[in-house]
Amino acid sequence: MTTTDRASTKERLLDAAAELFYRDGVSIGVEALCRTAGVSKRSMYQLFASKDEVLAASLERRAPGYAAQLAPAEGEAGTPRERILYVFGQAEKLSAEPGYQGCPFLAALVELKNPEHPASLVARRAKELLQEAFRVQAELGGARDPEFLARQLMLVFDGASARAGARIETLDGLTTATVTTLLDAAGVA
């Protein structure tokens, strides 16, 4: 297998993993993963030691794109308050898409239940980065307790994601109204 073949096989595996794990959950079998990717199990095991590694790699690969979907573009910076509200506005938009299943990182953490699983480590890091981004914006916006506000914002984000992903709730304006109340109470300008 050439380097180009390996890259193509790896990309197909990671694409299939991202789709299947998000849509059907992390319990999807190796056979289904390989069939969807159009690769043999042998090829998969030449690239990854286990399905767990494939899951972790697919989440790691997905993280920058997911973060970019939520964050305002460089030119659209605005105030810290506007940047925080933008994230929740984007989450509301994403939740209205037909295939939305909630935050992929939260879903992996909930399904795996093992904090030491390689994919749990990747997912937890993605959640920590979002919380840190909230903390920084809260601090820049003059929040009385930026750390506490960031934790509250994560609670709203993850709760909204879980409820919308389970089709229990539609988010149209709900999270931005809730976050506005939190920002006001925290003194974020």
Contacts of 174 (CB under 8 A, 6+ apart): 92, 160
Shared domain for 33 and 90, answered yes or no, is: no
The total number of structural domains in the chain stands at 2
133 within a domain of the structure (yes/no): yes
Shared domain for 99 and 131, answered yes or no, is: yes
Shared domain for 43 and 66, answered yes or no, is: no
Per residue of the chain (189 residues), give pLDDT as tens.
555 555 689 999 999 999 999 999 989 999 999 999 999 999 999 999 999 999 999 999 999 999 999 998 877 779 999 999 999 999 999 999 999 999 999 999 999 999 999 999 999 999 999 999 999 999 999 999 999 999 999 999 999 999 999 999 999 999 999 999 999 999 998
Q: Residue 18: which domain range? A: 1-48
CB 169 within 8 A of CB 91: no
36 within a domain of the structure (yes/no): yes
- Identity of residue 152: Q
